[in-house]
Copies of this chain bind each other. A is one copy, B any other.
C-alpha cells in the first residue's frame, strides 16, 4: 500500500550500514523547505488544541485529564482521555495478529508513512514540544521534529534489517543414502507482545520515537505513556499513527496513549504480565526500578549520567571555548547529552594562543558563555526556558557544590513574561570531592575540576563513567597519543567520545543513521539508539517445515 516508501527504506538501510551522513527529513524550518505558511498553520493547529479535549478516539474511563503548563508560563489546558489500562492492553492484543500477519515489509512501509505524516506536522509538533519542554522554537522544531523523525526512521530500518537478516523461506536438502531428505521451510516473524513507551519531559518525541517505532515495525502494539508535563507532542504523534493505521486497514488500537496526571500508571503498566517490552527515558531511580521489577518484559532504559570533557590542549583556543560554551548553553544544559564534568590539568594547558593556566581556562570558558548569551533576546533562543521546578531548585542549590566561577543569570524572556529562563552556572569542584562530580546535576550546572594531569583526568573519566554512566564524553588535545589514550579510556568506560570539537558539531548532538546515542555499555543506558541489541529482542522467529 505504501510501496512508494520503498526507496526511503532502502536508503535508510544503506545509511545504518554505512554510517555516513544521511537524513530523510530536512532540519531547516525555512519556508523554502517546508512551504510558505507552514509555520503559521502549525502554530494555528497548536493553538487550536489549547483549553480543549484533545481529539483522540480511544476508549477510556469517560474522564478527561491533563495539567500541562508551558515552561514559558502558559497553562495549556488540553485534556486527554483517562485510560483503563486493561482495556488498552486488551485492544492492543486483539489488534496484534493482523499486524503480525502483514509482515515486515508492509509494517516498515506503513511506519514510514506515519513518520512522513509526522514530518508534515513538524511545525505543530515544534510548538507542542516548545511549550512542554521549554526548548526554544528552532530547537523544538529540529530536535522534536526532523531529528526525532530521522531517529524514528532509523529504528524502522534497524528493526527491518534484523527481521530480514535471514531468508523467509528455504528449501533444505540433506544428502542421504538413497534420496536426499528435503524440507520446505517457512520462517515467520512474530512480535514479542504489547510494548510500553514511557516518555520524558525534555525530549518527548526524540526519546520516545525509537522505542515506539522499533516495537511497531517488529509487530508489537505500543502503548505510549507520556510524562505528565509533556503529553501533547506524543498525543499528536499517537493521533497520526492511529490515523495511518486505520487508513491502511489495521486496528488503530495498535498505538494508544496512556495519560496520567499523578504518578503510578507507569509502574502498573510496566509490571503488567501482558506488557512484554518497556522503553523508558528518565531518572536512574525509576530506570533501575524497572530493570529489577519489570522482569516479564524486555526493558530498555536511558537514565542519568556524568558526561565528561577532558581538556588536555588545543589547536583552537577560541574554537574550543566557543564550542563548549554552546554545548553548556543549548537548552540551558537540560540535555541528557550536555557536558557536566570538565576536567582540566591544574597546571594549565597548551593552546594555539600560548599556555593557559587553569584559571585562564575557566575564565575563558565563563567569558565565552557570557559572550554567547550576552544579548537577552538572542540568548533565550538558545537557552529556552527551565523545564520544571525540580531543575530550578537544583540550580538554585548548586552554588553550594563548590566555588562558583560563573553565576547563573536570570533572563527576562521578551515574548513570555512568565517564562523561567536561566543561564548556565559553572562551579569549581576539587578532584578530592567525587561525591559531588560523581553524580548527575541535571540542568544548567557544570563543574570544572582541576586534576593533576590529563592521565588523572582520564582516570576520573573511566572511574566516574563506569560507576555512574554517561551518554557523552569529549576530549581536546593536540597529541595523537593523548587522543588514542582517551579513546581507550572511552572504550573501557563504554562511552561515546568526541574529539576536538571546535566548529559546528557539538558533543550533545548526535546524527541519526551515523552516530549512536548511548552505548548500553555503561550505567546510563541499557542499549543504544539504534543498534542490533535495541531491536533484536522485540521479535521472534517461528518456523514451519514440510516435506518438499
Given A511-B174, A514-B185, A532-B536, do A521 and B499 touch, yes or no (CB 8 Å)?
no
Task: Determine if A263 is an interface residue (Cβ-Cβ < 8 Å).
Answer: no
Q: Which residue of B lies closest to A526 (CB)?
A: B537
**A499-534 interface mask toward B, CB cutoff 8 Å, 1 = contact, 0 = none?**
111111100000100111001110000011001110
Query: In the assembly, what is the distance between CA of A170 and CA of B504, in Å?
Result: 19
Name the distance in Å between A496's Cβ and chain B's nearest Cβ: 5
B20 touches A173 (CB 8 A): yes
Given A504-B181, A505-B181, do A495 and B542 touch, yes or no (CB 8 Å)?
yes
Query: In the assembly, what is the distance between CA of A542 and CA of B165, in Å?
Result: 23
Name the distance in Å between A327's Cβ and chain B's nearest Cβ: 14
- Considering only residues 132-174 of chain A, those with a C-beta below 8 Å from chain B are 161-162, 165-167, 170-174
Query: In the assembly, what is the distance between CA of A536 and CA of B18, in Å?
Result: 19
Segment at the B interface, from A114-122, A245-253, A450-458, A484-492 = A484-492
Residues of B within 8 A of A500 (CB): 546-547
B521 touches A540 (CB 8 A): yes
B528 touches A540 (CB 8 A): yes
Checking B166, B185, B192, B496 against A542 with a beta-carbon cut-off of 8 angstroms, the contacting residue is B496
Q: Which residue of B lies closest to A504 (CB)?
A: B181
Q: Which residue of B lies closest to A299 (CB)?
A: B295
Task: Determine if A16 is an interface residue (Cβ-Cβ < 8 Å).
Answer: yes
Checking B170, B499, B540 against A519 with a beta-carbon cut-off of 8 angstroms, the contacting residue is B540
Given A536-B536, A541-B519, do A176 and B504 touch, yes or no (CB 8 Å)?
yes
A171 touches B541 (CB 8 A): no
Per DSSP, are chain A's interface residues mostly helix, strand or loop, or mixed?
mixed
Residues of B within 8 A of A501 (CB): 547
Residues of B within 8 A of A213 (CB): none
B20 touches A498 (CB 8 A): no
B167 touches A17 (CB 8 A): yes
Query: In the assembly, what is the distance between CA of A490 and CA of B542, in Å?
Result: 8
Residues of B within 8 A of A516 (CB): 187, 541, 543
**A183-195 interface mask toward B, CB cutoff 8 Å, 1 = contact, 0 = none?**
1011110101000
A521 touches B172 (CB 8 A): no
Residues of B within 8 A of A533 (CB): 536-537, 539-540
Name the distance in Å between A491's Cβ and chain B's nearest Cβ: 5
Given A497-B544, A544-B487, A547-B500, do A190 and B515 touch, yes or no (CB 8 Å)?
no
Query: In the assembly, what is the distance between CA of A223 and CA of B542, in Å?
Result: 30
Residue among A165, A176, A539 with the highest chain B CB neighbour number at 10 A: A165
Residues of B within 8 A of A17 (CB): 165-167
Task: Determine if A291 is an interface residue (Cβ-Cβ < 8 Å).
Answer: yes
Residues of B within 8 A of A504 (CB): 176, 181
Q: Which residue of B lies closest to A518 (CB)?
A: B540
Residues of B within 8 A of A20 (CB): 170-173
Task: Determine if A32 is an interface residue (Cβ-Cβ < 8 Å).
Answer: no
Given A19-B172, A545-B499, do A165 and B491 touch, yes or no (CB 8 Å)?
no
A18 touches B167 (CB 8 A): yes
Residues of B within 8 A of A545 (CB): 496-499, 505, 515
A172 touches B511 (CB 8 A): yes
Query: In the assembly, what is the distance between CA of A166 and CA of B165, in Å?
Result: 13
Query: In the assembly, what is the distance between CA of A462 and CA of B539, in Å?
Result: 19
Residues of B within 8 A of A167 (CB): 17-19
Given A171-B20, A176-B504, do A541 and B531 touch, yes or no (CB 8 Å)?
yes
Residues of B within 8 A of A547 (CB): 499-503, 505
Task: Determine if A21 is an interface residue (Cβ-Cβ < 8 Å).
Answer: yes
Residue among A174, A501, A503 with the highest chain B CB neighbour number at 10 A: A174
Name the distance in Å between A218's Cβ and chain B's nearest Cβ: 10
Residues of B within 8 A of A444 (CB): none
Task: Determine if A97 is an interface residue (Cβ-Cβ < 8 Å).
Answer: yes
A181 touches B542 (CB 8 A): no
A546 touches B166 (CB 8 A): no
Given A170-B514, A295-B292, A547-B500, do A19 and B539 touch, yes or no (CB 8 Å)?
no
Task: Determine if A104 is an interface residue (Cβ-Cβ < 8 Å).
Answer: no
Residue among A18, A527, A537 with the highest chain B CB neighbour number at 10 A: A537
Query: In the assembly, what is the distance between CA of A18 and CA of B164, in Å?
Result: 11
Task: Determine if A226 is an interface residue (Cβ-Cβ < 8 Å).
Answer: no
**A290-307 interface mask toward B, CB cutoff 8 Å, 1 = contact, 0 = none?**
011001000000000000
A520 touches B503 (CB 8 A): no
Task: Determine if A494 is an interface residue (Cβ-Cβ < 8 Å).
Answer: yes
Residue among A176, A501, A536, A544 with the highest chain B CB neighbour number at 10 A: A544
A and B contact pairs by CB, cutoff 8 A, 10 listed: A20-B170, A162-B536, A166-B531, A181-B503, A181-B505, A186-B487, A190-B521, A497-B543, A498-B545, A500-B546
User: Top 3 A-B pairs ranked by shortest CB distance?
Assistant: A536-B536, A19-B170, A521-B540
